[in-house]
Amino acid sequence: MTRRPSARSAVVLGAFFALALLVLFVVRAGSLNAQGQGAANEFNDSHFHLTNYIQQGIEARQFLQIMGNRVGRSTLFGIPLQQQWSHANSGDFAPTYYLQSDAPLYYYSFTDAYIASVYKSLTPAEQARFDPMITGFNPADMYAVDHIRRVLTTFPGVFTGIGEFSIHKEFVSSKVASETASLTNPALDRILDFAAEAGLVVILHNDIDMPFGKVDTDPVYLTQMKDLLKRHPKTTIIWAHTGLGRIVRPVQVSAEAAERTPTHLQILEAMLNDRSLSHVVFDISWDEVAKYAVSSADTTTRVTSLFNQHAERFLFGTDTVAPPGPQSYYAVFDQWAPVWKGLTPEASLKVRKGNYERIFNEGRQRVRQWEKTNVKGAR
């Protein structure tokens, strides 16, 4: 004779199954979240543009949602150049990127006031995750340093550094509707001198070479760049993208192509071993740079080895511009996966997070101290 379970036993059994289903659901949801969002606080972003070449973008709180718990902190800046919409050039087509029109670019200083207003609209907890940067100045203008000082005194407590700003940049420099910036221009030296005085972190874009540089020749701008860096040993300078670009490449694509032989890593290693350049660090932002780093197993191994040996001199950034959502934003970080796997835990932590915190924490502290001394009412 089969014994039926009591009503109490049935209730207990039902509760057990309900609990089991709940646990399964939570575990499954957590797994999906881990796959979709990644690990908590995976990296800090040393190179992020909130707005694009026509000063449009996303809201800071939209970006915070994209950052989620996967990104701890990020720089925050626009783009100092505005693409002109010339009806004579493109008619009713409104260009949003510098490669979409032959019309010139011009410096747009209001970007700094906009970034400051966005930052000040956030809560203190939200502000703590951002390091705003000043970009709206012409580096060929001897008055540029006055603009930077004016921004600091107008918006105390906001900015941590200057940049990204460009000197030599493929397809951009020739489009700027003013004097072409130069590594030997005293205006640039004035900017970097003031950055040292005020404690501003500098993110500088300068291609190491001209587009389609000839094989077996030294990169055109390398000597000038190193001379500039050595003239400013008290300035913390981040060389954006390690000097690379779309066309300024580290490898030779084919025997016929007039593109540089694979010496870029050797150049970086020599600079890293030069004690007079110890104040210079390199950001590895941009999907183009990631593409080069993981282009082959041998290249990935060499890049990984360099990062492991000099982990304190590299920091990750995305160089994304007003990303519409998480997929496009995180794609750059995920592209580096083969390199992350090869790094030691200590090196990985420094490149992904630690170097950002060290550099930008010091920048924050020094700029706030400069403001206390030079800005009435600054705290």
Per DSSP, the residues of 63-111 read: HHHHHTTTEEEEEEB--SEEE---HHHHTT----SGGG-SS-EEE-THH
The mean per-residue pLDDT over the stretch 51-67 comes to: 96
- Of 97-101, 232-236, 297-301, 315-319, least confident by mean pLDDT is 97-101
Rg of the chain taking only CA atoms, in angstroms: 24
What pTM, to 2 d.p., does this model score?
Answer: 0.86
**Cα distance between residue 127 and residue 318, in whole Å:** 20
- Of 31-35, 81-85, 345-349, least confident by mean pLDDT is 31-35
The mean per-residue pLDDT over the stretch 164-169 comes to: 95
Which pLDDT score is estimated for 6? 54
Which pLDDT score is estimated for 198? 98
Question: 288, 270, 289, 290: which is closest to 280 by C-alpha?
Answer: 270
Which residue stretches of 242-378 are H helix?
264-272, 287-293, 297-309, 326-335, 337-342, 345-349, 355-374
Which pLDDT score is estimated for 31? 36
Indicate whether 21 pLDDT > 60: no
- Of 63-72, 173-182, 346-355, least confident by mean pLDDT is 173-182
Q: Angle at the Cα of 136 (from 133 to 137), degrees rounded to 5? A: 115
pLDDT band, residue 172 (cuts 50/70/90): confident
Which pLDDT score is estimated for 216? 65
Fold for 42-374, please state it. TIM Barrel (3.20.20)
Indicate whether 2 pLDDT > 70: no
Highest mean pLDDT among 90-99, 163-172, 224-233, 244-253: 224-233
In three-state secondary structure terms, 245 is coil
